[in-house]
Structure 1
Amino acid sequence: MTTMAIIGAGPGLGAAVARRFGGEGHDIALIARDQGRLDTLAGDLLRDGVTARGFAADVRDPDALQAALDAAHATLGPIEILQYSPVPHRDFMRPVLETTPADLVGPLAFSVHGPVAAVRQVLPDLRALGRGTVLFVNGGTAVVPHPDRAGTSIAFAAESAYGRLLHDTLAPEGIHVAQLIIPGAIVPGHHRKDPAVLADTLWAIHRDRQGFRHFADDLDS
């Protein structure tokens, strides 16, 4: 089997996705900033029968992110599935009239430079395999900008445009690029936004390979 890389892996959605895709036989590369937390999560997954390893990187550092993905490839094997789903920082969410050019540096590095670096790093694997999936996970401001969350509204819109361009360009090569919009918070126990339910949704998107944009719930929820 091949590897799934989860960028922004944590104990909620990342862990649930790792269990879902790992249960289908994929090895899991966990990427986030804290190596200790990644090692703990990898140990928890191993006890559940999922082969997982952690590779520390800050998504705002393209070189570090590409190095982590390179190490994941070398350790676990070719990357067939990439999920980009780090949680944005609270300081990205300033009101639009208070947002300066400097305030947009972080959100754009997080939601544009990071995805571009990650996709460019794994694309040779996807092309060599002749298949693969890239999954972008975003909040509702990716499609409905919010005046009090200018940074994420602007950066998520740019990430969405990049993802859509990839979807249209890579489809003839058998590489599926899709986006899952999760309005509001991820809520344990929610019938559509529980982490395990979202993991099932992402698996279905990977399996069915239909369309670019998908919604976990209604936008006004």
Structure 2
Amino acid sequence: MTTFALVGAGPGLGLAAARRFGAAGHTVALISRSAEHLEGLAAELVRDGVQARGFAADVLDPASLTAALRTVAEALGPVEILQYSPAPRADFMKPVLGTSADDLEAPLAFSVKGPVTCVNAVLPGMRALGRGTLLFVNGGTAVRPRPDRAGTSIAFAAESAYARMLHDTLAPENIHAAQLIIPGAVRPDAEHSSPEVLAERLYDIHHRRNGFRHYAEPLPD
């Protein structure tokens, strides 16, 4: 049995994705900063018949991320699927002319150093398995920058470039890197962007392995 590791576990999309991959037979590793928060999410999944555990780590702290993912592999089995989808902080979204170089340190650590750290931690296990999936979830600013959200526009674009390079480089090793763009808010009542619909979309991307960039719905004009 292999593991689905979710970086950025939360009660919306994260929980829905964990439930979907867990239903497919994967053990589930939930990763976020709060151990108490993770305990509640894991208990909810266990009640649904999913084998799940929480592992506390901060995406802005590479050492804690690496340690958590190593512990995941030791405790639950090798990570076959990694989903990187933590929610960006509100202070990442300053106007471009009000954004200093210092303001970009946290967004870039969040969207570039975090993913690089996670991939480096799980890649040896995927190579040993002979397969793997790397799922990157981003908002619309990853492909259409907005001057009122400079931090995410810059950092998501950098994450997109990294993910695309992984897609091209790792394909011969049967490791599929893909990105899902969610242009608007994730809402329970949204036709294309509810947690359950997005979770099914992510599972489909993993299963079909067809292309790099996918959209939950068309980008608004």
Residues 112-167 of structure 1: per-residue CA shift (max 9 Å, x gap): 00000000000001100000100000000000000000000000000000000000
Residues 32-61 of structure 1: per-residue CA shift (max 9 Å, x gap): 000001011000000000000000011010
User: Aligned to 2:206, what secondary structure does the other structure show?
Assistant: helix
Where does residue 74 of structure 2 map in the other structure? 74
Where does residue 64 of structure 2 map in the other structure? 64
TM-score norm. by structure 1 comes to 0.99
**Structure 1 Cα separation of the partners of residues 49 and 38 of structure 2:** 16
Code of the residue aligned with 1:44 in structure 2: it is E
Where does residue 14 of structure 2 map in the other structure? 14
Where does residue 93 of structure 1 map in the other structure? 93
Where does residue 131 of structure 1 map in the other structure? 131
User: Aligned to 1:211, what secondary structure does the other structure show?
Assistant: coil
**Structure 2 Cα separation of the partners of residues 161 and 55 of structure 1:** 28
Q: How far does residue 99 in structure 1 lie from its aligned partner after superposition? A: 0.2
Residues 163-187 of structure 1: per-residue CA shift (max 9 Å, x gap): 0000000000000000000001001
**Structure 1 Cα separation of the partners of residues 191 and 93 of structure 2:** 27
User: Aligned to 1:72, what secondary structure does the other structure show?
Assistant: helix
Where does residue 176 of structure 1 map in the other structure? 176
Where does residue 218 of structure 2 map in the other structure? 218
User: Aligned to 1:110, what secondary structure does the other structure show?
Assistant: helix
**Structure 2 Cα separation of the partners of residues 14 and 184 of structure 1:** 16
Gapped runs of 5+ residues in structure 2?
Answer: none
User: Aligned to 2:181, what secondary structure does the other structure show?
Assistant: strand
**Structure 2 Cα separation of the partners of residues 193 and 187 of structure 1:** 6
User: RMSD of aligned C-alpha atoms?
Assistant: 0.7
Q: How far does residue 199 in structure 1 lie from its aligned partner after superposition? A: 0.3
Code of the residue aligned with 1:140 in structure 2: it is G
User: Aligned to 2:197, what secondary structure does the other structure show?
Assistant: helix
Q: How far does residue 108 in structure 1 lie from its aligned partner after superposition? A: 0.2
Q: How far does residue 190 in structure 1 lie from its aligned partner after superposition? A: 1.1
Code of the residue aligned with 1:128 in structure 2: it is A
**Percent identity of paired positions between Structure 1 and Structure 2:** 66
Code of the residue aligned with 2:198 in structure 1: it is L
Divergent runs of 4+, >4 A: none
Gapped runs of 5+ residues in structure 1?
Answer: none
**Structure 2 Cα separation of the partners of residues 157 and 150 of structure 1:** 11
Equivalent residues, number: 221
Where does residue 37 of structure 1 map in the other structure? 37
Where does residue 205 of structure 1 map in the other structure? 205
Q: How far does residue 189 in structure 1 lie from its aligned partner after superposition? A: 1.8
Code of the residue aligned with 1:192 in structure 2: it is H
Code of the residue aligned with 1:84 in structure 2: it is Y
TM-score norm. by structure 2 comes to 0.99
Code of the residue aligned with 2:178 in structure 1: it is A
**Structure 1 Cα separation of the partners of residues 66 and 187 of structure 2:** 31
**Structure 1 Cα separation of the partners of residues 188 and 146 of structure 2:** 25
